[in-house]
Chains A and B, each alone.
Chain A
């Protein structure tokens, strides 16, 4: 049964270049653990066929930390919760440039400036429009920005200002979102994502697994991502943060994480699927297996408020796997 389903999925994706239906993905999601190696192998083959062998490396920086008015239940930067994070203002230009230079030295092609805000005010817009071309000029990196909900006008200005990719995560499915965020709606997020695409920036639209969502809601999320057609999907796994409402949730088990990496690849065959936050605590020693289960990009080094494993370990992993580093754009 497992072999038949996996073979049929391979036939659809590799022979006919046809996307799987959500029902077909649901059937694959229900396969037993014993089928995981075969599922991962297919996802890797699909990644190579649809995206090629390159892996994109990115560095990220929290350029304005904490004090966020939103109540995303997973986030230690929300001002609504008593967490470890001390709010700090927008970094100086020199500090941002230094972090970008660190990223460039690692061989990355992308640098994302991340701000803990509901959306950018005019002063923040001015800072971003000053920083983006400067980082690009000084480091040669593509510059991405994550600054929350955008208006139509702001999306246009950031696109004109040279923002290569804009990050705005759906995080979870529409049906589960109200259990995770109450200060803004899933639809507001979706609309910002649409604006990003409309103005010609590449859309980076991530997910966070392990917040209590069901299997059906994860499949629902894949369907909703398809509607947005993002260039990149960062795949985060919950790393429960002290003081947040999700502080006591258990982390996703390694085999389950690998299953969902494979399913996101099979559901979104042409996307840049990036390893993001939580992989170290979720996958532990199995991180290389994610690279052969559909991942073709990673955040290297540290995250926004937590640390990653050393960049040297990740670069060695890619070298061991004979996976070349390169800049990626979504296959049309």
Chain B
């Protein structure tokens, strides 16, 4: 189940609180997100030949639409 939609508390790419991350520098275009935007913990991320899936042990599949992004499209 996707986590409840809402403003992300943590950067899904570096795991820092959004308030202190505040930059796109940690966001590499060919890296999937690795941190839960709700709790900031590392997620299980499975990359496959044509996609990827991420899930947090406590919050399930993250609602990445709620994560600030320069590009709202996510593969996989």
Which A residues lie at the B interface, using CB under 8 A?
59-62, 65, 84-86, 88, 91, 95, 98-99, 102-103, 106, 239, 242, 280-281, 300-309, 311
Closest 8 CB pairs of A and B: A301-B49, A84-B34, A59-B49, A86-B42, A307-B30, A99-B48, A102-B49, A102-B50
19 residue pairs A–B, Cβ–Cβ below 8 Å: A61-B48, A84-B15, A84-B31, A85-B42, A86-B43, A86-B44, A99-B48, A301-B50, A302-B47, A302-B48, A302-B51, A305-B45, A306-B31, A306-B47, A307-B32, A307-B47, A307-B75, A309-B30, A311-B50
List the A residue with the shortest CB-CB distance to B33.
A84
- B17-46 near A? 1/0 per residue, CB < 8 Å: 000000000000011101100000011111
Within 8 Å CB of B46, what residues of A?
62, 65, 88, 91, 95
Report the minimal beta-carbon distance from A82 to chain B, rounded to whole angstroms. 10
Kindly list chain B residues whose C-beta atoms are within 8 Å of the C-beta of A302: 47-52
A143 to chain B, nearest CB (A): 14
* Pairwise interchain contact A102-B30, C-beta atoms closer than 8 A: no
CA distance A239 to B30 in the complex (A): 10
Contact B47 A88, beta carbon cutoff 8 Å: no
B47 closest partner in A (C-beta): A302
Chain B residues within an 8 Å CB radius of A300: 49
Q: How far is the CA of A300 from the CA of B49 in the complex (A)?
A: 7
Residue in B closest to A305 when the chains form the complex, CB atoms: B47
On chain A, the residues within 8 Å of B35 by CB distance are: 84
Of the four ranges (under 10, 10 to 19, 20 to 34, 35 or more), the interface on chain B belongs to: 10 to 19
Residues of A close to B75: CB separation below 8 A? 307
Most buried by A among B34, B44, B49, B52: B49
Give the Cβ gap from A86 to chain B, nearest Cβ, in Å: 4
How many angstroms from the CA of A306 to the CA of B28 in the assembled complex? 10
Give residues of chain B (1-22) contacting chain A, Cβ–Cβ below 8 Å.
14-15
**Among the listed B30, B31, B34, B47, which residue makes an inter-chain contact with A86, where contact means beta carbons less than 8 Å apart?**
B34
The reply to whether A306 and B43 form a contact with Cβ atoms under 8 Å apart is no
In the complex, residue of chain B having the shortest beta-carbon distance to the beta carbon of A86: B42
State whether A307 touches B49 (Cβ < 8 A).
no
Report whether A61 and B49 are in contact in the complex, using a CB–CB cutoff of 8 Å: yes
Q: Which residues of B contact A84 (CB under 8 A)?
A: 15, 31, 34-35, 42
* B48:A88 contact, CB within 8 angstroms: no
Kindly state the separation between the CA atoms of A326 and B43 in the bound complex, as whole angstroms: 37
Q: How far is the CA of A304 from the CA of B31 in the complex (A)?
A: 11
Inter-chain CA distance A282–B33, complex, in Å, is: 21
Residue of B with least CB distance to A301: B49
Let me know if A85 and B34 touch, CB within 8 A.
Answer: yes
Contact partners of B14 in chain A: CB under 8 A: 242
Nearest CB in chain B to that of A63: its residue:
B46
Nearest Cβ distance between residue A77 and chain B, in whole angstroms? Answer: 12
0/1 per residue, B39-75, Cβ < 8 Å to A? 0001111111111100000000000000000000001
Q: Are B42 and A99 in contact (CB under 8 A)?
A: no
The closest CB in chain A to the CB of B15 belongs to A84
Give the chain A neighbours of B45 by CB distance below 8 A.
65, 85-86, 305
Q: A84-B42, A307-B52, A307-B75 are in contact. Are A280 and B47 (CB under 8 A)?
A: no
Taking CB atoms, residues of chain B closer than 8 Å to A242 are: 14
